[in-house]
Amino acid sequence: MSSVKDWAAPTPISENRSGLIGKGVDRYEGRLKVTGTAPFAYEVEAPSPPAYGVLIASPIAKGVVSSADISAAQAAPGVRLVWTPHNVPAQGERGAKINPRSQRGSNPALAAKIEHFGQHVGFVVADTLENAKAAAALVRFDYAAEPADLIFEDNLDAADQPEGEEDVRIGDFEAAFAGAPVRLDETYVSPLQNHAQMEPCATTAWWDGDNVTVHTSIQMVKGGQHTLAETLMIPSTQVRLLTRYIGGGFGGKGQSYDDLTLAALAARELGQPVKVAYTRQQMFQATIHRPAVHMRVRLGAQPDGRLDAFALEAVTHCRREAPFTEHAANFARSLYAAPNRLTGHRLVKLDIPAAGAMRAPGEASGMLSLECAMDELAEQLGLDPIALRLRNEPETDPETGKPFSTRQLVRCMTEGAQRFGWDRRNPKPGQVRDGRWLVGLGMAAAIRGNFLLPAKAGVRIDADGTITLRQGMTDIGTGTYTILAQITAETLGVPLAQVKVELGDSDFPPAPGSGGQFGAATAGSAAFAAGMNLRKALAELAIGDPNSPLYGDDPELVTFGGGNIAVDNRAEPLDQLVARAAPDGVYVEGSITPAADARDYSQHTYGAHFAEVGVDPDTGEVRLRRMFGVFAAGRILNAKTAMSQITGGMIWGVGTALHEYNEVDPRYGSFIAQDLAGYHVPAHADIVNLSAMFLDEVDDKANPMGIKGVGELGIAGAGAAIANAVYNACGARIRNYPLTPEKVLAALP
Amino acid sequence: MKPFTYERPADVTEALAMAAAVPGARFLAGGTNLVDLMKLQIEQPTHLVDVSRLPLGQIEETAEGGLRLGATTSNSQVAADAKVRARYPALAQAILSGASGQLRNKATTAGNLLQRTRCAYFYDTTKPCNKRQPGAGCAAIGGIYANTAIFGASQACIATHPSDMAVAMSALDAQVEIAGPGGRARAIALEDLHRLPGETPHIETTLEPGEMITAVVLPPPPPGGQIYRKARERASYAFAIGSVAVAGGKVALGAVAHKPWRARVAEQALAGGAGPAEAMAAELASAQPDGHNDFKLKLMARLGAACLTTTGAGSDQ
Ligand SMILES: Cc1cc2nc3c(=O)[nH]c(=O)nc-3n(C[C@H](O)[C@H](O)[C@H](O)COP(=O)(O)OP(=O)(O)OC[C@H]3O[C@@H](n4cnc5c(N)ncnc54)[C@H](O)[C@@H]3O)c2cc1C
Ligand code: SF4
C-alpha cells in the first residue's frame, strides 16, 4: 500500500507543462448532448425492434395484493405480456455479493407485499408505449390494506439509534452546556426532497443467447451489473451493463430500479429487446428521496464567543425495510472547536418510499441547522457571525485531534467577506429597504468530506497515435469524460484531441462510479496511474528499439510532450514509435488504492457562502438578489466544469432554503407534488447573480494529483446563508425549511 | 394514452361540425394543458379537432374602442402587443407572470381560459376526485394540499382555477364570444364563463356541449391605474398562491376560487370611499379558509391592499 508521502513528489500533473490541468476546456461530450445525439439509455438503438414496458404503481401504502385481473389488459391491442405479483418470473434474492448500497431497490420486483405507496405491482409490455399505457389502465387489482406509519412528525417518539451506530461524546457535554454563560437550544427542520433528474430511470435490454446486454441509467456500473446478475440468477459475466450518458444522478441512481430488472426479464421472456422508463410520477414515488431531518442544536459559549459545549442531534426517517441514515450531524464533528461535544442520529421507520443518498447526504441537510444556530448565537453575543466562527477555528480536528490535510476555511470566509462587501451588513435586522423589498445579508460556512476509493483504468495507444482511456466509470453530467481526457493528455504530453475517453461499460476496468464527490479523485487517480504506466511502457519500447532515436537511453531521463517521446533533444512522435515498434498498439492498466496512512489526516473541502436576499412584506416571497461563494477544494482540474459543479450545488442550496420540498399525505402515504409543475426547484429567474471562486490549493494528502471533490461542497451550507439573510432582511427567524411565502408571511409582523 | 383520432378544420363552421360529429370530441389549441392531461389519462378524448390554425389569431380594434383577441392568439402574442401593453397593462403583466416563455408561445387565449385546475389530487389518478369521476369524492377535503379555494368552495370540490390571464380579464370586464353548433353565436361576460363547483365540479364552465370560444373582447380600458401582482413559491414558472388584478375601481382575485374571483364587495367599499386595507378586509370577511389555506387571508389582504395603493384605487384614511 502506498503512503500519502509518495504523493508529494512532482508529477506530470503538478508540472502541468501543457497547461491542460485547470484549464476550462469545453465538455468532451457537450456537442453530442446539445445536439441531441448522445444516446441516453432509453434511446439506444436495439439490434431489433423493441417492445415497450409500462409499470403500474400501488395506490396503497401497506398491505398485500390479494388478486389481480389481467384478462382485459391481455386482450388489449398490441399487448405482449402482463405481469403482476402472481405471475412475474422468479427472481434471485440479493445477497452479500453486492455492495449493500445497491440492495435497496425493490427485490423482487412486483412483490405481493406492499411496503410503500407507488411500489410497482404490475408491468405491461406492448408493441408501442401508447398501447402499453392504455392496457396498463385495464389491469384490476384488489388489495388487503394494513395500517401504515406515514408521517415523520407523528412518529418522532419511535426514533431509535440506527443499528451499529453510537453517539459520539467528547468531554462532558451536559455539564458544560449547563454551566455555559451563553446558551442556545433550537431545533431546525430540513425538508424531504425528491430526486428529479431530467432523465428518468430507463433501460433498454436485449439477450443474445444466455447473455444479456442492458443500457441503463445508473451511477455505479459494477453495482448494477452484479445486482442484475443476482436477480436473473446468472453469473455476472453474462451481464453486460452500459451507461454511457446519464441525465443526472445526484445519488438517486446509485442503485438500480425496477426498469432494469423488468426490462431484462421481459426481453428474455419475449426474445425481443424491451425498453422501460419511469414516468415523472414514478421517479417521485418509486425511487429514493432525501429524508426530512429534525436537528436539535445546543451551543454553550463564553461571552467572548468561545464554545464550551456543542451538540447536534439529528432525527431522520427511512423506509421500514430499507435502513438508511441521513448523517446530518457528521459534518459538525470536524467544523468548530469545542471541548465538550455530542453528535448522534436517531431513525424513524416509516411505510413511505425509501430514503437514500442525494447530493451531499448529511451536509446538505445538516448544515442548515448549525450554520443558522451560529448566526443566532452571534447575535446573542453581539458578535459578527464571521468573528464567532474565527473564534472557534480549531487547529486540529476538534474531535480526533488529527492534523488537517489542508484547511482554508478562514481564508474562504475572510476573502469572501471582502469581495462580497460583508462590511455593509447592518447587524440589526429589518433596517434596509429597496422599494418595497426588505433587504438582508447572510453567510454560512461549508464543509464536506473528501474521499478516495479503489479504482482501475485501462489506456491504450494505437498506431495512429490515438490514446483511448477506458474505465467502468460514469459521467452523470459532472464532467468526468472531460477531466479524464485532460488528465490523460497531460500525463502523456499529447494534445487533447488525441485522447478518446470511453466510460460506462462493465467490460472496462472497474471504478466505483459517481457519488460522494469521490468520482474525479478516484477515477482520475486511476487514469493518472494508467497514464504513468503507459509512459513507462512507451519508454521501454523506445529504449529497446534500435530504430528509435532513444535506443539505449536511460528510462529515467525520458520525457513526454508535444506528442513526442524524448531524451534531451532526441525525440520522435508517439504515433511513429508505436506504428513501428508496436503496430497493434500498447495497452496497460493502472490502479489506485487509498494510502495506508490517509486516515491519519482530517480531510475535507471547505467554503463560505454569502447571500443577499429581498423579502416582500406584502407576500412573504423571498428572492435571492446575489450570492457568492469562496471554496477550497484542492487542485482544480477544469475551471469550467468545477465552477458549474460548485455553482450548481449553491443553486440547489438556494432551492433547499426557499423552494424545494415535498410532503406525505397522511391518509395515502403518497407525495403531494408528483411532477415538475408542482415540485419547485429554482428557475432561472430565481438565480440572477450567483458566482463563486476557488482558492489556490493542492492537497498532497488526498491522492497523487492533489485534487479533491467539488460535486457536493457547493450545496453544503448554502441554504443556511439564505436563511440567515432572510433573518437579517426582515427579522423573521424560520427554522423550518424551506422558507416559503406562507411561512415567511406568518412570521412577519 | 388512449388512442384517438385527429382532424384539422379550415374554418369555424367546419370545426363545429367536426366536433358535433364524434361523441367525446375535444378542441385542441396549444395542447399545453390538454395533451399533458391525456398522457396521464385524466382526459381521454376519442377525437381531437385542432383549432390552433383557424383564422382566429388576430388582435383587432373594436368599434367601441376596445380590443378583440382571437381565440387562437398566443399568450406571448397578446402580452407583447403594443395596444395591449399600452391600454391593458394588467393583462400583459398577468400573462407574462404565467407559465414559461415556451409555454406562452404555444398557449392560446381560449385554451388558457379553459385550462383545468392544478389541484394535486386531480392530477393523482389514484385518488378520489369529483372532477375526474363525478360522485367519487374529493381527496382534497381533509388533505394537505393547500393551494385551495377560500371563496365559493363546496362539499364536492375546493379546487381553484389556475389562470393568471383570466383574473386580469375579469377585472377588465372582458366578454367571451362563443360559436355553437348550427352557427349559433353568443357573447357572455367572462365572469359568467366559469362556474363555482357546487355539486357538479366536473362542469367547469357555462359552455354548452360543442360550443367553442372564438374571441375575448376587452371593453375600452377603465379610467384609473392597472396592476397585476402574483404571489408564488418561486420567481417564475409557478402557479399563483394568490394574485390580484386591479383596473381602475375593478378588482379580481386569483387562486382563491374555482373561477377568477371578482371582488365586488371590495369594489363597492372602494366606491363608498373605503381605503385599500378596509376594502380588502370587507371582501375577505366572507372568505372561508379550511385550516390548510388560512395563509391566503393575510396574503390576499396585504397583496390586495398593496395593489390598490399602487394604482390609487383607494386611499386609507
Ligand atoms: C408547467 C406549466 C406551468 C404553467 N404555469 C402557468 C401559470 O403560472 N399561470 C397560468 O395562467 N397558466 C400556467 N400554465 C397553463 C397554461 O397557461 C395553459 O396550459 C395554457 O394556457 C393552455 O392553453 P392551450 O392553448 O395550450 O390549451 P389546450 O391545452 O390546447 O386546451 C385547453 C382546454 O381548452 C379547450 N379549448 C382550447 N381552445 C378552445 C376553443 N377555442 N374553444 C373551446 N375550447 C377550447 C381544450 O379542449 C382544452 O379543454 C402552465 C402550464 C404548464 C404546463
Ligand atoms: S378539490 Fe376538486 S379537483 Fe381537487 S380532488 Fe377535490 S374534487 Fe378533485
> How is chain B split among helix, strand and coil, in percent rounded to 5?
30, 20, 50
Q: What is the pLDDT of residues B122-140, one digit of tens each?
A: 999 999 999 999 999 999 9
Q: State how far the alpha carbon of A526 is from the alpha carbons of A540, A596, B313, in Å.
A: 21, 17, 70
What does residue A574 show for φ and ψ, rounded to 5 degrees? -60, -40
Cβ–Cβ below 8 Å for B143 and A667: yes
Instruction: For residue B144, list chain A residues with Cβ-Cβ distance below 8 A.
Output: 663, 665-666, 672
Predicted local distance difference test score (pLDDT) of residue A103: 46
Q: Does B3 touch chain A if contact means CB atoms closer than 8 Å?
A: yes
Q: What is the pTM of this model?
A: 0.97
How far apart CA B176 and CA B159 sit, in angstroms, is 23
* A61 C-alpha to ligand 2 centroid (Å): 21
**CB proximity list for A252: less than 8 A, separation 6 or greater:** A195, A197, A287, A288, A356, A357, A358
- If phi > 0 it is left, if psi is from -120 to 50 it is alpha, else beta; for residue A251 that is left
Q: Could you say which ligand is closest to the alpha carbon of residue B147? A: 2
Predicted local distance difference test score (pLDDT) of residue A101: 47
| Mean local confidence (pLDDT), A320-337 | 95
Counting one residue from chain A and one from chain B, the pairs whose CB atoms sit within 8 A come to: 98
Q: Which residue has the cell 521501454?
A: A540
A684/B120 Cβ within 8 A: no
* Distance set, CA A39 to CA A54, A249, A365 (Å): 21, 16, 34
Nearest CA in chain B to A746: B295
pLDDT confidence tier of residue A107, bands split at 50, 70 and 90: confident
Whole-number pLDDT of residue A94: 74
Q: CA B13, CA A67: separation in Å to the nearest integer?
A: 51
Of residues B313 and A105, which shows the higher confidence score? B313
Percent of chain A with pLDDT over 90: 96
Q: Which of B1, B143, B236 sits opposite A134 (nearest CB)?
A: B1
Chain A residues touching residue B124 (CB < 8 angstroms)? 281, 670, 674
Residues of A in contact with B33 (CB under 8 A): none
Q: Best residue in A54, A661, A745 to probe B by mutation, most B CBs within 10 Å?
A: A745
Residues 6+ apart with CB under 8 A from A696: none
Q: What is the pLDDT of residues A562-604, one digit of tens each?
A: 999 999 999 999 999 999 999 999 999 999 999 999 899 999 9
pLDDT of residue A96: 52
User: What average pLDDT does this structure show over B276-289?
Assistant: 98
Q: Which of these, A270, A200, A269, A256, lies nearest to A228 by C-alpha position?
A: A256
Average pLDDT over residues A689-705: 96
Nearest ligand to residue B241 Cα: 1
β-strands B5-7, B25-28 pairing: unpaired
pLDDT tens sequence across B300-317 = 999 999 999 999 987 644
Q: Average pLDDT in the A234-251 region?
A: 97
What phi and psi values does residue B242 have, to the nearest 5 degrees? Answer: 175, 140
> How far is Cα of residue A250 from the mean position of the Cα atoms in its chain?
4
For chain A, the average pLDDT equals: 96
Q: For position A106, what pLDDT does the model report?
A: 65
CA A724, A730, A731, A732 dihedral sign is negative
**Cα(A112)–Cα(A394) distance, rounded to whole angstroms?**
54
Map residue B256 onto helix, strand or coil: coil
Nearest to A619 among B1, B143, B231 (CB): B231
Q: Residue B147 carries which side chain, given as an amino acid letter?
A: N
Cell digits of residue B30: 396549444
Confidence category of residue A514, pLDDT binned at 50, 70, 90: very high
- Is residue B255 pLDDT above 60, yes or no? yes
Model pLDDT for residues B163-194, shown as the tens digit of each residue: 999 999 999 999 999 999 988 999 999 999 99
Query: Contact A621/B126, CB-based, under 8 Å?
Result: no
Supply the residues of A annotated as catalytic: 712
* Average pLDDT score over residue span A411-422: 98
Q: Residue A74 is which amino acid?
A: Q
A687 pLDDT higher than 60: yes
Residue to substitute from B39, B41, B97, B124, interface A, most A β-carbons within 10 A: B124
Query: In this complex, do B126 and A674 lie within 8 Å of one another by their Cβ atoms?
Result: no
Pocket test for ligand 1, best of B49, B112, B160, B241 (most atoms within 8 A of CB): B112
Q: Return the best residue to mutate from B119, B141, B150, B194 for the ligand 2 pocket (most ligand atoms within 8 A of CB).
A: B119
A191 near B CB under 8 A: no
Of chain A, the end-to-end C-alpha distance in Å amounts to 63
Report the separation in Å between the CA atom of B36 and the middle of ligand 1, taken as the mean of its atom positions: 10
Do A115 and A62 form a contact (C-beta atoms < 8 A)? yes
Q: What is d(CA A326, CA A317) in angstroms, rounded to the nearest whole number?
A: 8
User: Which whole number is the average pLDDT over A175-180?
Assistant: 98
Distance A311 CA to ligand 2 centre (A): 45
Q: How far is CA A419 from the centre of its chain?
A: 29
Cβ–Cβ contact A285 with B under 8 A: no
The residue-averaged pLDDT of A662-679 equals: 97
Q: Supply the residue whose CA is at minimum distance from atom 3 of ligand 2.
A: B122
Q: What is the mean pLDDT of chain B?
A: 96
Residue from B41, B42, B126, B148 to probe the interface with A (highest A Cβ count within 10 Å): B126
Q: Residue A516 has what pLDDT?
A: 87
Q: Which ligand is closest in space to the CA of residue B99?
A: 1
Choice from B42, B118, B122 to test ligand 2 binding pocket (greatest atom count within 8 A of CB): B122
C-alpha cell at B90: 394588467
Check A686 against B231: CB less than 8 A apart: no
Q: Å from B303 to nearest chain A CA? A: 5
pLDDT at A102 over 50: no
* Alpha carbon distance A79, A737 (integer Å): 46
A55 has pLDDT over 70:
yes
The distance of A480 to chain B (nearest Cα, Å) reads 31
**Contact criterion met (CB < 8 Å) for B237 and A436:** no
d(CA A525, CA A513): 13
Q: Which of A205, A202, A216 is nearest to A264 (CA)?
A: A205
Contact check, Cβ <8 Å, A57/B235: no
Residues β-bridged to residue A626 = A612
Ligand lying nearest the CA atom of residue B116:
1
CA dihedral B220, B224, B225, B229 (to 10 degrees): -80
Please name the residues in contact with A645: beta carbons below 8 A apart, sequence gap of 6 or more. Answer: A478, A479, A710, A711, A714
